[in-house]
Amino acid sequence: MTRPVFRFAPSPNGELHLGHAYSALLNSDMADKAGGRLLLRIEDIDAARSRRAYEEAILRDLEWLGVKWERPVRRQSEHMADYAEALLRLRRDELVYPAFMGRSEVRAIVSEAEAQGRAWPRDPDGAPHYPDRDRTIPQKERRKRLDAGYAHAWRLDTAAALAQASGVIEFTETGEGPDGDTGRIRLDPRVWGDPILARFDTPTSYHLSVTVDDALQGVTHVVRGRDLFHATSIHRLLQVVLGLPEPAYHHHRLILGPDGRKLSKSFGDVGLREVREAGYTPTEVRRLIGL
Ligand code: GLU
């Protein structure tokens, strides 16, 4: 029997905090219990924010925590060709379209609509949906702009992808979504509008690379924070249209800061390094985060 495959996938744009420690240790515990493997993936496609020094600090902190992962570590920035290939397939199937508008142009369109009293749809992270205009540009005009070298991103044509997926996106949740949902779950990816799959300056995006990598690495169990629960609808949609296998999902609770806010990089005082330097042992860290 093939062994279950788990992964912890931090972005090296800051040091690990207690929320990451929880996620890494939970992955490690679940992999051990299932007799599975644990992979570590460094999600460093954002060149402007990723730092090698943070990556090194992450490895050091994980080692200190007692997390054991397989080598080699997959570093996303070294696998751009894999994401480009997936994007090309989506282009051939006409499931993505070039998006020519920059952020300020989108903002202007949204503000104008809202000033006229129209409610503009927003995604679960609060970002406005991308306007329809580029999705409906005639093929000829699109070609002309691409040939002329207009700057563009690539966005998923969610409606077209959903139609190809027979309109239904489901996954199995073994943890809990924000509303306590668990078991076989049906989500509507249209809440994300047409998400970006490749940026102006980076030939991929979080959604595309995470989906491609989970498949390429044979990940069978995705264990991650509840803040990514809704993103799963996009990952599942991409899996269906790209013909990739479906892993099981386990979204875990978030470790909240003292004021009840979700921990973030700005919450430096509860960084793992600070906790370690204050003399806590890995066992005490586990107790601190309820593991
Ligand atoms: N790299 C993402 C993060 O640090 C996690 C991606 C995932 O687990 O799907 O938030």
- CA distances (Å), 211 to each of 9, 15, 106, 115, 272, in order? 12, 24, 27, 37, 28
Task: Provide φ and ψ at 164, rounded to 5°.
Answer: -65, -30
Residue indicated by tokens 């490895």: 59
Q: From the CA of 105, how far away is ligand 1's center (Å)?
A: 29
Q: From the CA of 241, how far away is ligand 1's center (Å)?
A: 22
CATH code given to domain 79-212: 3.90.800.10
* Per-residue confidence band for 11, with pLDDT thresholds at 50, 70 and 90: very high
Is residue 250 within 6 Å of ligand 1 at its C-beta?
no
Taking only the tens place, the pLDDT of each residue in 43-75 is 999 999 999 999 999 999 999 999 999 999 999
Taking only the tens place, the pLDDT of each residue in 79-119 is 999 999 999 999 999 999 999 999 999 999 999 999 999 99
| pLDDT for 269 | 45
Task: Provide φ and ψ at 223, rounded to 5°.
Answer: -115, 115
pLDDT above 80: residue 262 = no
| pLDDT for 260 | 54
pTM over 0.85: yes
pLDDT above 80: residue 34 = yes
Q: From the CA of 77, how far away is ligand 1's center (Å)?
A: 15
Is residue 9 within 6 Å of ligand 1 at its C-beta?
yes
Please state, for a pLDDT cut of 90, what percent of the chain lies above it. Answer: 89
Atom of ligand 1 nearest to the CA of 10: 4
Q: From the CA of 187, how far away is ligand 1's center (Å)?
A: 20
Average pLDDT over the chain, rounded to whole?
94
For every residue of 164-214, which 3-state class applies, written as one string?
HCCCCCEEEECCCCCCCCCEEEECCHHHHCCCEEECCCCCCCHHHHHHHHH
* CATH T-level fold of 1-78+256-291: Rossmann fold (3.40.50)
Q: From the CA of 93, how far away is ligand 1's center (Å)?
A: 27
* Per-residue confidence band for 259, with pLDDT thresholds at 50, 70 and 90: low
Q: From the CA of 109, how far away is ligand 1's center (Å)?
A: 31
Is residue 228 within 6 Å of ligand 1 at its C-beta?
yes
The rounded distance, in Å, linking the Cα atoms of 172 and 113 is 38
pLDDT above 90: residue 261 = no
Under 8 Å between Cβ of 11 and 178: no
Taking only the tens place, the pLDDT of each residue in 135-188 is 999 999 999 999 999 999 999 999 999 999 998 999 999 999 999 999 999 999
Atom of ligand 1 nearest to the CA of 41: 1
| pLDDT for 288 | 86
pLDDT above 80: residue 191 = yes
Atom of ligand 1 nearest to the CA of 231: 9
DSSP 3-state of 40 = strand
- Averaged over 225-238, what is the pLDDT? 97
pLDDT above 80: residue 219 = yes
Atom of ligand 1 nearest to the CA of 20: 4
pLDDT above 70: residue 258 = no
Domain boundaries defined on the chain: 1-78+256-291, 79-212
| pLDDT for 263 | 52
The rounded distance, in Å, linking the Cα atoms of 250 and 255 is 15
Is residue 224 within 6 Å of ligand 1 at its C-beta?
yes
